[in-house]
C-alpha cells in the first residue's frame, strides 16, 4: 500500500461529519501525512434559499462563507485535527472538492458515504461523483443511518 502524504477530508457539517473527520485524522497520523479540510457552499442547494431569505446574493454568500470558516475552525479545534489547510469553496460540491485535491497534490480524499439531506437527494450523490471522477484514491467512510 502506498504512503499517503496529503489527505483531504470533505466536511459537510452533517451529523456524521465528526466521524468522517476523525477517520481522516487517524489515517493522517498513521501515514504521517498532512491533513486539510474543505467545505463547499453548494450553490445548487442555495437557489431555493435565496428566494426565501430576500437577501442580496453577495451578502448571503459572505454570510455563508464566514459561517463555514468559523465552523471549520471549531471542528479543527474540537477534534484536535491539527489541519494544515482549511478551505471554504463556493460552487458545485464534488467539482470544488476534486479541484482542491488536484491543485494541492492531495493523494487521498476522505468523504462520508452519503449525507442524505435536503436537495442533495434530488441532485445526485457527491460521494458517487467524487468516487468516479477523482484522480487520487478516495475513502468513503460508511455511514449507518437508523
Ligand atoms: P452526499 O453524497 O452529498 O450525500 O455526501 C457524501 C459526502 O460528501 C459527505 O459525507 C461529505 O464528506 C461530502 N460532502 C457533501 N457535500 C459537501 C459539501 N458541501 N462540502 C464538503 N463536503 C461535502
pLDDT of 21-40, one tens digit each?
999 999 999 999 999 999 99
Answer yes or no: are the C-beta atoms of 105 and 82 closer than 8 Å: no
* H or E, element range at 25: helix 17-31
What's 109's DSSP letter? E
Report how far residue 10's alpha carbon sits from residue 97's, in angstroms, rounded to the nearest whole number: 7
**pLDDT number for residue 122:** 47
Report which of residues 146 and 57 the model is more confident about. 57
Q: CB within 6 Å of ligand 1 — which residues?
A: 10-12, 20, 38-40, 42, 93, 97, 111-112, 114-116, 120, 125-127
Q: Is the pLDDT of residue 49 over 80?
A: no
Name which residue leads in pLDDT, 34 or 121: 34
What's the pLDDT score for residue 62? Answer: 86
Q: Which of 93, 101, 142 to mutate to test the pocket of ligand 1 (most atoms within 8 A of CB)?
A: 93
What mean pLDDT is reported for the chain? 86
- pLDDT > 90? residue 57: no
Task: Give the C-alpha separation, 24 to 48, whole Å.
Answer: 32
pLDDT value of position 21: 97
Task: Please state the rounded mean pLDDT for residues 49-75.
Answer: 79
What is the β-pairing status of strands 6-10 and 34-42? Answer: parallel
Q: Residues 6 or more apart from 117 whose CB is under 8 A from it?
A: 14
pLDDT band at 69 (very low <50, low <70, confident <90, very high): very high
Please, what's the b/e burial string for 88-125 (b: 16 or more CB within 10 A of its CB; e: otherwise)? bbeebbbbbbbebbeeeebbbbbbbbbbeeeebeeeeb
State whether residue 16 is helix, strand or coil: coil
Tell which residue, 46, 88, 85, has the closest CA to residue 71. Answer: 88
Residue identifier of the C-alpha nearest atom 16 of ligand 1: 12
Whole-structure pTM value: 0.88
Amino acid at each position: 500500500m502506498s504512503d499517503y502524504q496529503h489527505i483531504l477530508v470533505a466536511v459537510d457539517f452533517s451529523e456524521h461529519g465528526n466521524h468522517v473527520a476523525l477517520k481522516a485524522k487517524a489515517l493522517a497520523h498513521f501515514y504521517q501525512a498532512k491533513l486539510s479540510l474543505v467545505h463547499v457552499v453548494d450553490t445548487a442547494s442555495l437557489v431555493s434559499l435565496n428566494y426565501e431569505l430576500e437577501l442580496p446574493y453577495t451578502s448571503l454568500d459572505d454570510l455563508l462563507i464566514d459561517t463555514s470558516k468559523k465552523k471549520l475552525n471549531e471542528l479543527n479545534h474540537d477534534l484536535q485535527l491539527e489541519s494544515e489547510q482549511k478551505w471554504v469553496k463556493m460552487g458545485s460540491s464534488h467539482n470544488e472538492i476534486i479541484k482542491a485535491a488536484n491543485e494541492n497534490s492531495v493523494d487521498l480524499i476522505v468523504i462520508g458515504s452519503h449525507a442524505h439531506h435536503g436537495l442533495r437527494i434530488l441532485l445526485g450523490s457527491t460521494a458517487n461523483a467524487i468516487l468516479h471522477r477523482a484522480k487520487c484514491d478516495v475513502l468513503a467512510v460508511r455511514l449507518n443511518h437508523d
